[in-house]
Chains A and B, each alone.
Chain A
Amino acid sequence: MSVCPRSNPDKYSRVLTSGFRAVVPFVIALVIGGAVLLATGHNPLAFYQLLVRESFGGTDRIAATLSAATPLLFTGLATAIAFRAGVFNVGVEGGFVLGGLTGATVALHAGLLAGCVAGALAGVLVSALPAWLKARWNVDEVVTTLMSNFVVAGLTGWLVTAFLQAKGVANSATPLIPRSAWLPDLLPPYGLTSGVLIALVLVMLYAVWIKHSVLGYELRQTGLNPRFSAAQGIRVGRVIIVSMLISGAIAGLGGAAHALGVVHRFVDGFSPGYGFTGIAVALLGRNSAVGVVLGAVLFGALASAGTTAQLFSDIPLDIVDVLSGTVMVFAVIRLWRQR
């Protein structure tokens, strides 16, 4: 049509709109959670106040929130990078877990740095096969990466019980890593490790790289329109593989950081689904750097406040799951509308 361009919203209002859209799932979650609390005879406002106090009220609580957010920063960022390239990598959980086992095992013998590098490489390994299948034959990455999580879960369980089991420990766990190979604590006596710094630096690098690098440009274009990108000479298959490998590396590094900083070994049930919460973080944050930080802190806050909040009220811990579950459902709705 030969009409003038549609009214071009200025930058300020555009930021406002996208910010508004981003908080919608969270607001809906608060409303639904409030309804559940009301129905069970509790005061939602009082409970939400308690949640806020328990997640941000004081240095110790903030440290706990950031500590809970740290693995989510890694998994959220890993997911966001792949999503940005249009690859729906849901295998970050597997990368995180294998990265944790590899990091814990290598650090045992070769120290902190080698443990981190090995963890990242393990994550790369997990994402390599789905990446190649997607780029070569367009095999649906949702299926292959989802399945790779189960492969990794089975593989790590077997490796630990068969070869890496710590002596004198009843449950399946690798030996304790020597203190010299731990990620140093940031705010002693609180359990916040320097892993959060690594994650934040990576998020900042991502923000600059995706916007201003040649590869970041190709990654964004591939995600927006692969047909267009291929016709302009962007090697879409290569971009997809690179995005998946970077995503895997960050997931694996996240697992290693969690092992070396928090758990100090690899144990059964190492990740309570950090990779899957990472999907919600990326979706909620719309794959942007700032969004990933906010999303990770939000879910971190819910997790850390949830555990202590029930000490101060008779409200069951499950209400926190209702909240984060609702946020996830609405974030997933967004995922399907994107696809």
Chain B
Amino acid sequence: MSVRLGARDVSRAFGPVRANEGVSVEIRAGTVHAVVGENGAGKTTLMRILYGLDQPDSGTVVINDQPVRLRGPADGIGHGIGLVPQELAMIGSLTLLENLVLGTEPRSGPRIDWARARGEAEELASRVGVELPWTALADNVSISVRQQVEILRALRRGADVLILDEPTAALAPAQVDDLLRLLRGLREAGRTVVFISHKVDEVLAVADEITVLRGGKVITTRPVGDLDRTSLIELIVGQQVGFTGFVPSAVTGDEVLTVAGSVSLSVRAGEIVGVAGIAGSGQDELVERVVGLRPPDGRITLAGQDISTLPVDRRRAAGLGYISGDRRSEGLSMDASLADNTIAGTHRTLGRHGWLKPSAVRAYAKRVLDGYSVRYGRTTAVARTLSGGNQQRVVIGRELDRDPKLLVAAGPTRGVDVLGMTYIHDKLRALRDNGSGVLLVSEQLDELLDLSDRIIVLHGGRVAGEVPGGPASRTAIGTLMLGRTPS
């Protein structure tokens, strides 16, 4: 059996961080090969090396059983390797067909031969079993469709190995199914697929072989038949993980939040209300209106008090907490010290006669950071120096320490690995069990199903429906997210 693409004893370090250490993988032709691991396990580094975007410090890339030196992505493409990045690079004002052929247009003389381009596109699409609206503008189609075009574009350039970096991150469940079907179609057509993910269920559903990376090293490579959900998670994390699963709320009290407007909903004390929807369905607007960062389009009350016209600081004083979905630019100030990040929003109550006592600031920050197990050196270090998971703990600590009546949590575990995720989930449940209300907005369906007592599904800026929490609601949410009515 031939190795279509692989790495032999590859190491790559960035300063003191060993991103890859003696990594060897063999990806056989005509298979779907998944590479899984936590954040920082070295998946992306390995893919960049395999594609030629980065060069290993030692070890070598293997193509068709032969050691090869890739000097840049052009070399990767020359060897038939295509990369579908996480951020899709498409020109929104061009049609899908124009995007497909951009840079390699079929010509007849000086003109572009659009008839032939169309023919090639149709043929490519039918070979992998998809249908695409070729004349639609890229701006007007879903991320899922754009991704399919991106895959076809790589195929059209002669790639028979496709590397997909976290391709399902922004997709709705039904779209994930479409993508997985497309990947199987590619395999049927004899192509090789490298699929990077940290979503265990998808990997188990589509891969032939799975390579687990942890701490920059290959832990194991196994055929999918040898693994189940639990064993794979334990391999990824390196220890047993106690998943709490769905635990509905025991007691709910009065409404702590009511929102009326284009989206209307309410959250009771002791309740986690989830908000689901494809990205851009009105979640951001809802969150910003509740927090006070966007003018209201209706009445919003917090614990009975009308807060629709109050500024952010008054809402916070009334008992609002906010975990921003955009940690890097809104949740934290990356160039400010940990102390300054921790006291933000509380700084006025900490001050005396308009002055902040340095020792009081330090003590407050230390208490919060230690209380939420943040690994840090000094409170004067800037937030940027912490790892992503630690940064999120700073945010969680800052917001939960004030014991909010209502917590707005937008993507609270985004970019956080499995262990960090279980920690944050437990904290959110504890907050709820303590009698607070939580409005949880998340792109991760599993998170919503596990945590929420009720889930409100948004579509096109409106409420499409409401379902109870728990694993049974998965299909119903998927249907509502796409704007259809569940049968």
Partner of A3, one of B40, B317, B322, B357: B40
Say whether A5 contacts B335, CB under 8 Å: no
| Contact yes or no, B329 A218, CB < 8 A | no
Chain B residues near A2 (CB-CB < 8 A)? 38-40, 387-389, 417
Confirm or deny: A258 has a beta carbon within 8 angstroms of a beta carbon on chain B: no
A230 with B293: CB separation less than 8 A: yes
Q: Are B348 and A214 in contact (CB under 8 A)?
A: yes
Residues of A within 8 A of B315 (CB): 233
Report Cα–Cα, A136/B16, bound state, in Å.
47
CB of B17 within 8 A of CB of A229, answer: no
B386–A214 touching, CB < 8 Å: no
B contact residues around A1 at 8 Å (CB): 17, 39-40, 387-388
Kindly list chain B residues whose C-beta atoms are within 8 Å of the C-beta of A217: 340, 343, 347, 356
Per-residue 0/1 for B307-338: is the Cβ within 8 Å of any A Cβ (1 yes, 0 no)? Answer: 00001110111000010100001111111100
Residues of A within 8 A of B324 (CB): 231
Instruction: Categorize the interface residue count of chain B.
Output: 35 or more
Closest to A8 in B: B377
Chain B, 292-309, contact with A by CB distance < 8 Å: what is the 0/1 string?
010000000000000000
- Smallest Cβ distance from A232 to chain B, in angstroms? 4
Task: Judge whether B242 is part of the interface by a CB distance below 8 angstroms.
Answer: no
Given A228-B332, A230-B293, A5-B381 contact (CB < 8 Å): yes
Is the CB of B345 closer than 8 A to any CB of chain A?
yes
Residue-wise, chain A 197-239 has the 8 Å CB interface mask toward B (1 for contact) of 0000000000000001111011011001101111111110000
For the complex, give the distance between the alpha carbons of A215 and B354 in Å: 7
**Given A213-B355, A218-B347, A221-B336, is A231 in contact with B381 using a C-beta cutoff of 8 Å?**
no
On whether the beta carbons of A8 and B378 are closer than 8 Å, the reply is yes
Assess whether A13 is interfacial by the CB under 8 Å rule.
no
- The yes or no answer to B107 lying at the interface (CB within 8 A) is no
Interface centre among B315, B336, B390 (most CB of A within 10 A): B336
Check if A233 sits within 8 Å of B17, measured CB to CB.
Answer: no
Chain B, residues 8-47, CB within 8 Å of chain A (1/0): the string is: 0000000111000000000000000000001110000000
Report yes or no: A228 in contact with B347, Cβ–Cβ below 8 A.
Answer: no
Partner of A221, one of B40, B329, B340: B340
* CB of A7 within 8 Å of the partner chain: yes
Which residues on A sit within 8 Å (CB–CB) of B377? 5, 8
B291 close to chain A: CB less than 8 A: yes
Task: Tell me which residues across on chain A come within 8 A of B93, comparing CB atoms.
Answer: none
User: Is B381 touching A225 in the complex (CB atoms < 8 A)?
Assistant: no
The reply to whether the CB of A6 lies closer than 8 angstroms to some CB of chain B is yes
Between A and B, 26 residue pairs with Cβ closer than 8 Å are A1-B17, A1-B387, A2-B38, A2-B40, A3-B40, A5-B375, A8-B377, A8-B381, A212-B356, A213-B354, A214-B351, A214-B356, A217-B347, A220-B336, A220-B340, A221-B336, A221-B340, A221-B344, A225-B336, A227-B329, A228-B330, A232-B312, A232-B344, A233-B311, A233-B312, A233-B316
Q: Which residues of B contact A (CB under 8 A)?
A: 15-17, 38-40, 291, 293, 311-313, 315-317, 322, 324, 329-336, 340, 343-345, 347-348, 351, 354-358, 375-378, 381, 385-390, 417
Q: Report which A residues bind B (CB closer than 8 A).
A: 1-8, 212-215, 217-218, 220-221, 224-225, 227-235
Q: A232-B312, A233-B311 are in contact. List 8 more A-B contacts (CB 8 A).
A: A5-B390, A212-B358, A214-B348, A225-B335, A228-B329, A230-B312, A231-B293, A234-B345
